[in-house]
Amino acid sequence: MRPQIVLFGDSITEQSFRVGGWGAALADTYSRKADVLVRGYGGYNTRWALFLLHHLFPMGSEKPPVSVTIFFGANDAALLGRTGERQHVPVEEYKENLRRIVQHLKNRSPAVLVVLITPPPVDEQGRLEFARSLYGDKATKLPERTNESAAVYAKQCVELAKELGLPSINLWSKMQETEGWQKKFLSDGLHLTAEGNAVVHEEVVRVFSEAGLSAPEMPYDFPHHSEIDGENPEKAFQNLCAGSHKSNMRPQIVLFGDSITEQSFTSAGWGTELPERTNEATAVYARQCVELAKELGLPSIDLWSKMQETEGWQKKFLSDGLHLTPEGNAVVHEEVERVFNEAGVSASNMGGNPENP
């Protein structure tokens, strides 16, 4: 029912749903408007990405995404003769691979909004410092990537976007407009800090908005709570019809709930003046929830009890007496992960699939 936005790229995309990541921020921006799906593959270059296209974006799909960001180049630009040469892709091939990715997406859905994102700049000193932190005296004395090389790949990415009439984000140039970008935007000379992620998020939102995919102008998937009549709630849902469902290749974990779930992709969310409510009343509903889970043989999380095991839970876990602080979100995340693991849905034990060879 919701339109989908797919983020396709390497580790900078894969990490985008971490705390403070640009993907999580984008999911928050488009909350209840579009589903943001991360398809990031650490270490991948455009040559390897081609093998994923028919798995991630199969032809004839009933529901193609409304937009796809393509964010490769950081690994393609690894230098020959250095520690990362296995990932190196010649710049001419890099440009052609990007073209093939775009063509596949456009053949699948001509209306899809494709956005090309250049690799970020490289802080060579930061890369050397990162290598020393891992390998000590055995670390390489020469960076496996250089800012000069990244510039060449960024230029080809932007040029291809112009040739194909696509929007692009020149991250290589954008970040270097800020003094001290090396430490401000890059955590290890290549990957992004929270501030670096914020730059990507801001640029993607800008490009999406300019292309007509503005979150404020998109409709909610279901009525806003303010439109629901407490005495006659069904009226707000009369014009909705059941949509068809078709499973994707990846297993899906759906977070279904109220504003505490809606806000779970905000910064530090667990996914990422209330006198009209009382803790006593909440306890009654919490107890019924746990009892029902027992009746049905389902796992449950008694968040009401769990949080109150901690002294000072009121301010530690709740930002406004109801919604969650980062620490509160962390409790939910930890409990959900625990229950999933106990039920055999452990992330570390989940097997590979055709889209992740």
Kindly list the catalytic residues: 11
Phi, psi of 74 (to 5 degrees): -60, -35
Separation of alpha carbons 149 and 74, rounded Å: 10
d(CA 91, CA 7): 22
Residue showing tokens 């710049």 = 91
User: What are the residues facing 71 on neighbouring strands?
Assistant: 9
The C-alpha atoms of residue 43 and residue 232 are separated, in whole angstroms, by: 53
